Amino acid sequence: MKRNVDLREISDGRLYTAEDMVRADCHDCQGCSACCHGMGTSIILDPMDIWRLYRGTGMDFSELVSRGYVELGIADGMILPHLKMREESDACRFLDPAGRCSVHGYRPGICRMFPLGRYYEGGGFRYFLQVHECRKNNRSKIKIKKWLGIPNIKEYEGYIRDWHDFLGQCEKGLTELDEQNARTLRIYVLRIFFQDPYEGEEKDFYHEFRERLRETEEKLQLGR
Ligand code: SF4
Ligand code: SF4
């Protein structure tokens, strides 16, 4: 989800690559679960997040939605899934009674990054450190790719860039469609990239994603 904010107000003013050291390591959170509460609809999921959650929990997309872990919303014109907060406590549905993430090993990309964010520019992105978000003041420096804990970071970053670009093309395309065709586009993208399950290991996910992207761009005649 795009945010219109001045980077200088929310960050340390620097942009980082995955190879850089950044003061993000909050030492396993140690009893804090602040950023797993009150997140509203902001923890938006990408297709790999759904694949990861399926691999870790055994719940496919429709089960994640029907059991109330994930819900759908509109973000940048498209229908996209996000983590659902509990009504009574405003906590993420995956937060366990001890205040720990019950899906830590397969948590979504936004959770992995926190308190980092992505800044997109020139066909790619870099990371920035949100300085007002994490409650721990004594964070240590850590290499970003280690903090993310995602194998094959280059392939992952390429995937994130492609997904972001694709959503940008869709958002642009929506401005030329009437309401009925816009709805068809939103539902088509939701089905192809989220509802139809991805099988296999991580390398299979990237391959499958690229195939779906290529076919969808051809079908929708989106030029990149
Ligand atoms: S606010 Fe910081 S320390 Fe607290 S749960 Fe989030 S990342 Fe961990
Ligand atoms: S998935 Fe885990 S880390 Fe992410 S908000 Fe939920 S409980 Fe917190």
- Which ligand neighbours the alpha carbon of 35 most closely? 1
Quote the ligand 1 centre to 195 CA distance (angstroms). Answer: 31
**With a 6 A CB cut-off, is 83 part of the ligand 2 pocket?**
yes
Name the pTM for this structure: 0.93
Query: How many domains does one find in the chain?
Result: 1
Residue 185 domain flag: yes
pLDDT tens for each residue of 70-107: 999 999 999 999 999 999 999 999 999 999 999 999 99
Name the residue at shortest CA distance from atom 8 of ligand 1.
Answer: 29
- Which ligand neighbours the alpha carbon of 116 most closely? 1
- What pLDDT shows up at residue 137? 82
Residue 151 domain flag: yes
Residue 3 domain flag: no
Q: Which domain holds residue 20?
A: 9-220
With CA atoms as reference, report the closest residue to 148 among 140, 139, 138, 157.
157
DSSP letters along 102-162, please?
TTGGG--HHHHHTTEEEEEETTEEEEEEBTTT-S-S-PEEEEHHHHHT-SSHHHHHHHHHH
- What pLDDT shows up at residue 35? 94
Residue 4 domain flag: no
Residue 111 domain flag: yes
Whether pLDDT at 223 is above 80: no
- What pLDDT shows up at residue 74? 96
**With a 6 A CB cut-off, is 114 part of the ligand 2 pocket?**
no
Which atom of ligand 2 is nearest to 107's Cα? 1
pLDDT tens for each residue of 128-182: 998 888 888 889 999 999 999 999 999 999 999 999 999 999 999 999 999 999 9
